[in-house]
Amino acid sequence: MNSSLQPLLTEAILFFSDRGIAKQMLYPEFEALLEGMVVTPEFAEETIEAVFLQINNRLHVRAAVFFTIDFDLDGNINPLWDMPLRALAEKAGRGPDMGGGPIRLACLGFCSESRFRPNLWKPAQRDGRSDLLLVKEAVTRNTLGILGEDRETMAVIQAERLQMAAEDAWYGDGSVIDVPVRANNAEPETARQSAEKVATASRILEQERVSHEEQIFELKRQLEELLQLREDELATERQRHVDHLAIVQGELLDIKKELEQQQKINGSLKRDLSKLQKHSASDAE
């Protein structure tokens, strides 16, 4: 397939826990979560820190929006939650260099849209490690299965290449400082290790695909059952109305017959009364 027909950016959501990144999903999966088609019981009754990412096909982060999101008791997203993540990413200011040049960054303290600030948070340290480095490592591991345009994309990009702008330069001239990731002199991964990681990612992706298909099948089955139940209820309700109408019509017919009979009796009484009046008049004469 011609690479020009492929999307330039892949959108994804990463969820954080106290120890690091707890869950990753592509944006279509997040949309299904927003629509209530799937739930995340592991986040039930919690406010979760997350990040919306736009990633190019060389596994470079190009934009990041750090936001919070609330879940209810069942693991559904609060229906009042409403964040235009794509619009915030497009309007975001200059952020750190995460390996592919300065990114567009929106987070608490770095967002021009003041009304969204209560639902933003600022990346810092987590369990002794930088949140930005955790994001970088997660993206370069590519467990989401983002497809690149050449072999270079399939190789695992070394996290120590990450350069991050100092916070006071996130809106400045883009000067960067090196942030080392490894404390030792570990050797770069071999091609075999990289291939193993790609194979593992493929297996995980296939398992997730099968799981999603099963969830969709189960949701369709439940929907069909609900529709059938609703149809049965409507049929029962229609029959109840028909039966009630028949009873009412029968009662009206009985009343009509009684009225006709009463009218006949009244007519007979009137005739008898008229005869009596005539008879009395004759006797008086």
Residue 170: its pLDDT value, please? 55
76 in the Ramachandran plot: left (φ > 0), alpha (ψ -120 to 50) or beta? beta
How many residues would you count in the chain? 285
**Residue written as tokens 């609900």?**
226
- Which residues are 11's β-sheet partners? 54
Query: Rounded to whole angstroms, how far apart are CA atoms 131 and 118?
Result: 19
What pLDDT sits at residue 47?
94
Q: Which of 173, 176, 204 is nearest to 24 (CA)?
A: 204
d(CA 143, CA 111): 29
Its pTM stands at 0.53
User: Pairing between strand 125-126 and 177-178?
Assistant: unpaired
Phi, psi angle pair for 70, to nearest 5°: -100, 140
The pair of structure tokens assigned to 6 is 């492929």
Predicted local confidence at residue 154, as pLDDT: 43
Supply the DSSP string of the chain, one letter for each residue. Answer: --GGGS-SEEEEEEEE-SSSEEEEEEHHHHHHHHTTSS--GGGTT-EEEEEEEEEETTS-EEEEEEEEEEB-TTSPBPTT----HHHHHHH-EEEEE-SSSEEEEEBTTB-S-GGGGGGB----EETTEEHHHHHHHHHHHTTT----SSHHHHSPPPGGG-EE--GGGTTTT---EE----SS-PPPPPHHHHHHHHHHHHHHHHHHHHHHHHHHHHHHHHHHHHHHHHHHHHHHHHHHHHHHHHHHHHHHHHHHHHHHHHHHHHHHHHHHHHHHHHHHHHHH-
Per-10-residue mean pLDDT, the chain, length 285: 57 93 94 90 93 93 95 91 93 89 92 88 88 93 76 42 50 39 46 72 78 83 86 86 86 88 88 83 74
Bridge partners for 77 per DSSP: 71
Pairwise CA distance, residues 78 & 119, whole Å: 13
